[in-house]
Amino acid sequence: MKKIIILSLTFLCLISCSSNDSEMVDPDNGNGVITDNNGGDNETKDPIIGTWSLFLSTDGVEVDNCLKKTTFIFNEDNSYNQIEFNTVNNNCDEILNVTGEWTSKNNNVYELRRDGYTSGPDVSFEFSDDGKTMIVVRQTYKRQ
């Protein structure tokens, strides 16, 4: 009889708990933080974090190999690097290389502030459901 009770209690404990029972997404938070019921925070990555390479131009046409070198690099420490390439006199040249800080403003709007400036523009980003592409200023970038 004791074995049946112990097995029943063990079985009840196993089916009553799951690994994510204590986690929930705070819909009012807006910054990707998951709060558990014990008061702790577990940071999740912002969808912008990563290296993104230009893939489609504003008219939806795949860009050439030179323009594909154009990248945004968004780091977890809220810094970013934007590097642009273009063909100049038949050479693929870097035409822009800026660094700065990014800040999430919620709803996929980010402030991009270049180093040396006190403020920057708010820019809307659109991310695909699978997180592999982002659209900014009608240009499509692929996650590397």
Q: How much is the pTM?
A: 0.69
Q: How far is CA 34 from CA 69, 104, 144, in A?
A: 35, 16, 26
What is the sign, positive or negative, of the torsion defined by CA atoms of 100, 121, 105, 72? negative
* DSSP 3-state of 108: coil
Give the span between the Cα atoms of 65 and 68, in whole angstroms.
5
Question: Do the strands 139-143 and 50-56 form a parallel or antiparallel pair, or are they unpaired?
Answer: antiparallel
How far is Cα 141 from Cα 80, in angstroms, rounded to an integer? Answer: 15
Q: How far apart are CA 38 and CA 13, in angstroms?
A: 19
Q: Digits of tens for pLDDT over the chain (144 positions)?
A: 333 333 333 333 322 333 444 333 433 344 444 334 444 455 678 999 999 999 999 999 999 999 999 999 999 999 999 999 999 999 999 999 999 999 999 889 999 999 999 999 999 999 999 999 999 999 999 999
